[in-house]
Amino acid sequence: MTTAQTLGPSDRLARALAFAIPALLLGGAYIGQYGFGLYPCEMCMWQRWPHFAAIALALVSGFMAPRQLWIALAGLAILTSGMIGAFHAGVEYGWWEGITSCAIAVEGGGDPLEAVMGAPIIRCDKAPWDLFGISLAGWNFIISSGGAIAILSLLARKRKTA
């Protein structure tokens, strides 16, 4: 019998997804940022915070009951990032207006004022890169939303009693 203390196979898979999806998406974001110079705009940064929360919640589910609740909260955090990604992608595609402020990338060292003045302005309404016509924000929406639905569906499966 599955209890709050033990996890069935679908719950374990949900927990693994709740950790792996945000970890891989954040890893990809940081590789893009530091490896390829794809600096994030403000809305890109907004998408990262729910992923950090999801990783923490997935880790908490490993040792704190009720475990399914923590996994479900991680799934909802991932879904939140996906919804922010959907909004951001809509701004990039010109479907609706976004925020008015932009973020800048500041590299360390030297004069801070010079660093700020010489830093590139990262616009939220321009996709710096896309794959098959889908921006990074769009991919975050697709992967995060699909992953969150999978996590929540796995948790909702009927549990067989012994």
Tell me the CATH number at 71. 1.20.1550
Q: Which of 9-23, 95-109, 120-134 has the lowest mean pLDDT?
A: 95-109
Of 152 and 4, the one with more pLDDT: 152
Residue 13 has pLDDT above 70, yes or no: yes
Residue 58 resides in a domain: yes
pLDDT recorded at residue 136: 84
Specify the residue for token string 């909004």: 87
pLDDT band, very low/low/confident/very high, at 51 (cuts 50, 70, 90): very high
Q: Apex CA 122: angle with CA 99 and CA 41, to 5°?
A: 60
Tokens describing residue 63: 């040792």
Closest CA to 61 of 83, 46, 77: 77
DSSP 8-class letter at 126? S
Q: Yes or no: say if 74 and 14 are a contact pair by the CB < 8 Å rule.
A: no
Residue 104 lies in a domain: no
Please check whether residue 146 lies inside any domain of the structure. yes
CA 79 from centre of chain: 8
Assigned domain for 51 exists: yes
Whether 89 maps to a domain, the answer reads: yes
pLDDT interval class at 37 (50, 70, 90): confident
Asked whether residue 112 is assigned to any structural domain, the reply reads no
Q: Residue 77 is part of which domain span?
A: 9-99+127-156
Quote the mean pLDDT of the chain. Answer: 83
- Tell whether 83 is covered by a domain: yes
Are 39 and 124 a contacting pair, CB within 8 Å?
no
The number of C-alpha atoms within 13 Å of 83 and in the hemisphere containing its C-beta is 9
**Considering its fold, how many domains does the chain have in total?**
1
Position 110 in a domain: no
Q: How confident is the model at residue 40 (pLDDT cuts 50, 70, 90)?
A: confident
